[in-house]
């Protein structure tokens, strides 16, 4: 299995049974290593919430590739109305896709969908979420945009995590200290930081985070990927 980082919170996951894209913010992302049109074959698009730096190019990519946008019901409905193929879920639910199993988790964050012609310029897009993925017998966790919450311990107890992708940017999400503490609750073998350095108000030193993680939870390996880099999990 390969996990490729495309900047901000966007990851491409390639397994034996399929290819996924998570939070495809590519157009307008100064850290992205690829363009939306570079994505050609895809089996699913996971979107954690409706903010533009996460929904990103999901609708356009879905229309072009036929891959369904997978997310909470309200967001999926809005994407479907915009012409995308979707699979609606909600927090706590799971579904077995051809590429693997997806379960939605809570995330402490907001969500809206930009609609310029509406009265306020946006509409409510349901709850924000995170994702648990089971592929090739391994559990992966993408936290989405979130603050620290105690039930991360429950996620770690119930799912032996091979990898956790955690935001560290602070201001809108967890900062490095909270993310390192989250890692002690989740007990993942590996942790990749995300949602940092894209914009000035989420600037962080990823090396400091991995050092902090090593002190807080040496059983976990902190891996700070640069956009375009790949982590391989056997």
Structure tokens at 227: 């956009």
**What's the mean pLDDT in 10-33?**
97
Return the DSSP state at 201: G
* Parent domain of 57: 2-232
CATH number at residue 152: 3.60.15.10
The number of domains in the chain is: 1
Q: Within 10 Å of residue 74's Cβ, how many Cβ atoms?
A: 18
Of 70, 181, 75, the closest CA to residue 131 belongs to: 70
**What's the mean pLDDT in 185-208?**
98
pLDDT value of residue 42: 97
For residue 63, pLDDT over 90 is answered with: yes
pLDDT value of residue 115: 76
Percentage with pLDDT > 70 across the chain = 99
Give residue-wise pLDDT tens across range 66-105. 999 999 999 999 999 999 999 999 999 999 999 999 999 9
Q: Within 10 Å of residue 215's Cβ, how many Cβ atoms?
A: 8
Give residue-wise pLDDT tens across range 95-120. 999 999 999 999 999 999 887 776 77
Task: Say how far apart CA 131 and CA 218 lie, in whole Å.
Answer: 24
Task: Say how far apart CA 80 and CA 92 lie, in whole Å.
Answer: 22
3-class DSSP state of 52: helix
Task: Say how far apart CA 79 and CA 218 lie, in whole Å.
Answer: 41
């Amino acid at each position: 299995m390969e996990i490729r980082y495309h900047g901000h919170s966007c990851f491409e996951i390639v397994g034996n049974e399929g290819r996924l894209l998570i939070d495809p913010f590519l157009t307008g992302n100064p850290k992205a290593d690829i363009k939306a049109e570079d994505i050609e074959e895809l089996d699913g698009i996971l979107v954690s919430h409706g903010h533009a730096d996460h929904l990103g190019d999901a609708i356009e990519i879905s229309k072009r590739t036929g891959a369904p946008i997978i997310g909470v019901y309200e967001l999926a409905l809005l994407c479907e109305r915009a012409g995308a193929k979707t699979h609606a879920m909600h927090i706590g639910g799971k579904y077995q896709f051809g590429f693997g199993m997806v379960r939605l988790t809570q995330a402490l964050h907001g969500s809206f969908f930009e609609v310029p012609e509406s009265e306020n310029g946006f509409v409510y897009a349901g709850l924000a979420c995170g994702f648990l993925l089971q592929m090739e017998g391994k559990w992966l966790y993408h936290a989405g945009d979130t603050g620290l919450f105690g039930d991360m311990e429950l996620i770690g107890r119930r799912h032996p995590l091979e990898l956790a992708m955690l935001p560290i940017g602070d201001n809108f999400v967890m900062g490095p200290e909270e993310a390192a503490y989250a890692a002690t609750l989740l007990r993942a073998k590996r942790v990749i930081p995300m949602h940092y350095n894209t914009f000035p108000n989420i600037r962080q030193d990823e090396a400091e985070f991995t050092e902090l993680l090593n002190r807080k939870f040496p059983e976990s390996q902190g891996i700070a990927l640069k956009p375009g880099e790949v982590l391989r999990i056997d």
